[in-house]
Amino acid sequence: MAKGGKRNIIGSWAFLIGVVLAIILGAIGQADGTILTVLMLIGLIVGLLNITEDEVSTFLISGAVLIIAAEFGGRSLQAAPDAINGIFQALLAIFVPATIIVAIKNVFNLARD
């Protein structure tokens, strides 16, 4: 993740808090409605503030893999405990908006070059 600067500190903390919240609240089944909205906002902050140009490719690949694995993992593990599916959904709420924002920023950078 990006280092230094106030923007990057906010983005780093948002990422850390978001992932911890997603795991804890998803595991106890509390990741719904308002919580998912908060996690989505955290994902937007992460995408806007935390990923530098040097990290874009790595983040997009990792984000895409995480999104695919969480979505299909949740579908294929229907018999899994609700905690596992809750964690998958909460992580999707963070990484989908973050990945979309970073991808859009990357497209604009490519078009500008």
State whether residue 111 is helix, strand or coil.
helix
Q: Give the tens place of pLDDT for each residue, 54-108.
A: 889 999 999 999 999 888 877 777 666 777 888 888 999 999 999 999 999 999 9
What domain count does the chain have?
1
If we measure between CA atoms, which residue out of 46, 1, 38, 4 comes closest to residue 21? 38
Determine, yes or no, domain membership for 74: yes
Determine, yes or no, domain membership for 89: yes
Q: What pTM was estimated for this model as a whole?
A: 0.82
- Whether residue 18 contacts residue 10, with contact meaning beta carbons closer than 8 Å, is answered with no
Residues in Cβ contact with 49 at an 8 Å cutoff, skipping those fewer than 6 apart: 2, 7, 8, 10, 11, 14
Q: Give the tens place of pLDDT for each residue, 7-64.
A: 578 778 888 998 998 899 888 876 778 888 999 999 998 898 888 888 899 999 999 9
Determine, yes or no, domain membership for 52: yes
Determine, yes or no, domain membership for 1: no
Determine, yes or no, domain membership for 51: yes
State the residue range of the domain holding 75. Answer: 6-108
